[in-house]
Structure 1
Amino acid sequence: MKFKRCILAIAVVLFATSNLFAHSEEIQPDFVEELMEQYFEVQQALAADNFAETQTAATQYTKILNLQPALSMKPSIIKIKRAASKLRKADDLDHARVAFQKLSTEMQSLVEDVGIKRGTLLYVARCPMAFGNEGGSWIQADTVISNPYLGASMLRCGNIDALGKSK
């Protein structure tokens, strides 16, 4: 009887753990690439201090997320949806930038786990001066810094590292 309980407990733990970390089998690089294309639109709008374009890009980003209802209960997608919703509902650039920071964190995790199809590298940029010198990171498609957190006032502030190769 104890053996059966032990096996059952192990099975439950393995199932729960696989649901937390195994999104790479269900979330495909094509989908992540679609998300990244729209993510870059948001990033560039924030870097240009353009709130209207930020809202438009965030709305489009949310639409792409909603095209995959089968993925909507994946923990990583839930976190991304929350961040995207806050970004879309932001009432000014400052709030949009805070929401974008959370979205960037979640997207970096997703890209590292799943990858994208494109044949190039993605980059993680970090500005140590963002958010009152607490710093903030984001993903970029190239090595020219376009700071979404400080915009035109410090557009090129930051350093950059490769995120990883695409799949």
Structure 2
Amino acid sequence: MKKIFLMVAIIATSFVQYGFAQIDHAGHQTQAVALLPLYYNIKDALVSGDAKLAASKSQEFVNAVNSTDAKVVGETNKKALLEHAGKLAKSKDLKSEREHFAGLSTSMIALAKASKLSDEPVYQMYCPMKKSNWLSSEKAVKNPYYGSAMLTCGNVVETIK
């Protein structure tokens, strides 16, 4: 009877540990996935030319990155994300925000290619005038670097699935 009880205890313990490991992994993946909609919010604010909203959304992005485990995004990429989003959050100038958005986009593209950030396709766009990329949830070009001045300048260069 003691042997049966001991075996049941060992099996139960292994299932509990496996369950915790799955929750931990899922939690890490959720952290990375949560960054993409926040990035899109920054992009959309820049498309509309709203410097105040772009700064506000960048601060939300900074807060999310700060609460993300470095194992999820990688230490180097986390540092780059924080650097560019932090500068964007502190800026009140649309031109400056768009400059920092280019660096933020480079880091987000690297993250999107390394991790599955969405069940939906993620489109990598390219602006030939700015010579910079950005991510979008839709194929239609809405350029965050020039906003209404050159809203449709750019093209899809890759679909990240």
TM-score bucket (shorter structure): 0.7 to 0.9
Q: Secondary structure at the match of 1:143?
A: coil
2:89 aligned partner = 88
Q: Which has the higher contact order (CA 8 A, sep 6+)?
A: 1
Q: Structure 1 153/70 Cα, relative in aligned 2: closer, same or farther at 3 Å?
A: closer
**How far does residue 56 in structure 1 lie from its aligned partner after superposition?**
1.1
Residue aligning to 1:64: 64
C-alpha distance in 2, partners of 1:70/1:44?
26
Over 3 Å counting, the alpha-carbon distance change for 1:69 and 1:109 in structure 2 is closer
Q: 1:151 to 1:112 in 2, by over 3 A?
A: same
CA distance in 2, matches of 1:120, 1:102: 24
Unaligned runs of 5+ in 2: 1-24
Q: Secondary structure at the match of 1:110?
A: helix
Q: 1:28–1:114: 8 Å Cα contact kept in structure 2?
A: no
Q: How does 1:29-40 map to 2 (within 5 A)?
A: 29-40=29-40
1:73 shift after superposition: 7.5
After TM superposition, give the deviation of residue 162 of structure 1 in Å.
Answer: 3.0
Determine if contact 2:125/2:134 at 8 Å carries over to the other structure. Answer: yes
Instruction: Report sequence identity in percent.
Output: 25
Matched, 1:98 2:99: yes
The answer on 1:127 being equivalent to 2:127 is yes
**Residues 14-48 of structure 1 deviation map (CA, whole Å, 9 limit, x = unaligned):** xxxxxxxxxxx8x9432222111000000000000
**CA distance in structure 1 between the partners assigned to 2:55 and 2:141 by the alignment:** 22
Tell me the equivalent position of 1:154: 150
Distance in 2 (CA, whole Å) between partners of 1:114 and 1:103 is 16
Q: Measure how far apart 1:67 and its partner are.
A: 1.6
Distance 1:73 1:106, change over 3 A: closer
Cα distance in 1 for partners of 2:114, 2:58 equals 23
Root-mean-square deviation (CA), in Å? 2.1
TM-score (norm 2): 0.77
Report the CA distance between 1:51 and its aligned residue.
Answer: 0.6
Query: Counterpart of 2:137 in structure 1: which amino acid?
Result: A
Residue in structure 2 matched with residue 136 of structure 1 by the alignment: 132
Figure out how many residues of one structure are paired with residues of the other and give that number.
136
Deviation at 1:114, TM superposition (A): 1.5
Normalised by the size of structure 1, how large is the TM-score? 0.74
Give the match for residue 114 of structure 1: 115
